[in-house]
Amino acid sequence: MSDVTTSTFDLTPPTDAQLQELAADLSEEESHVLLQHGTEAPFCGVFLTEKRPGLYTCRLCGLPLFKGGAKFESGTGWPSFTTPFAEGHLEYIRDTSHGMVRTEIVCGRCGGHQGHVFPDGPPPTGERYCINSVSLDFTPGDEPLPDKLGRGAPEGQVWSG
């Protein structure tokens, strides 16, 4: 992960009250995927064909997780990325569910389930971050990032990195 930068974002987890408030804003499907480690159906996610420059953020807490330029077409039915936004923005968990061994990825700040990472991606990393669209929000490159926890800059500002 040599292309991963150091974060300038506050990675302190939300309080229980903040997490409850954020979760109250989720749809049933978003809640199932983000909070109960579910998976959306393939080939139906809203970000599957998204190609604009910008940042993909955690749908639950707003932390940037992937840059638009790291997205690629994997043919798997879910948005796929080669590199996370910054070190610490994702946590990696051994997942032995469904009779296989995989690496689950969750938001490094709120713990919301994002998807899985596999070692079969393209260069430069050889990794494929396979993500549920409902776990993400998208901020076009010319718009301010969400500041769902009221933490201030760089959240709430246009990302120039």
Q: Which are the catalytic amino acids?
A: 130
Task: Tell me the two tokens of residue 56.
Answer: 């993909």
Measure CA of the first residue to CA of the last residue in the chain; give whole Å.
18
Helix (H) or strand (E) holding 58: strand 54-58
Residue 95 CB contacts under 8 Å (≥ 6 apart), including other chains: 101, 102, 103, 104, 116
Q: What DSSP state is assigned to residue 140?
A: E
Three-class secondary structure of residue 33 per DSSP: helix
Instruction: Tell me the backbone φ, ψ of residue 79, rounded to 5 degrees.
Output: -55, 135
Instruction: Tell me the pairing of strands 71-72 and 80-81.
Output: antiparallel
How far is residue 27's CA from residue 8's CA, in Å, rounded to a whole number? 30
Instruction: Tell me the pairing of strands 71-72 and 128-131.
Output: unpaired
